[in-house]
Chains A and B, each alone.
Chain A
Amino acid sequence: KQEVTQIPAALSVPEGENLVLNCSFTDSAIYNLQWFRQDPGKGLTSLLLIQSSQREQTSGRLNASLDKSSGRSTLYIAASQPGDSATYLCATGGKGAQKLVFGQGTRLTINP
Chain B
Amino acid sequence: ETGVTQSPTHLIKTRGQQVTLRCSSQSGHNTVSWYQQALGQGPQFIFQYYREEENGRGNFPPRFSGLQFPNYSSELNVNALELDDSALYLCASSFSALNNSPLHFGNGTRLTVT
Contacts and interface: CB of A to CB of B under 8 A. Distances in A.
Contact of A99 (B42, B58, B100): B58
A81 interface: no
8 A-B pairs with least C-beta separation: A97-B56, A102-B42, A43-B105, A44-B105, A43-B107, A31-B99, A93-B99, A99-B45
Contact of A98 (B42, B90, B94, B106): B94
Interface of B: 4, 31, 33, 35, 40-45, 48, 50, 55-56, 58, 90, 92, 94, 97-108, 110
Contacts of B94: 98
A109 to B, nearest CB: 16
A45 interface: yes
Interface of A: 4, 31-32, 34, 36, 41-46, 49, 51, 89, 91, 93-105
Contacts of B106: 43
B77 to A, nearest CB: 20
A94 B99 contact: yes
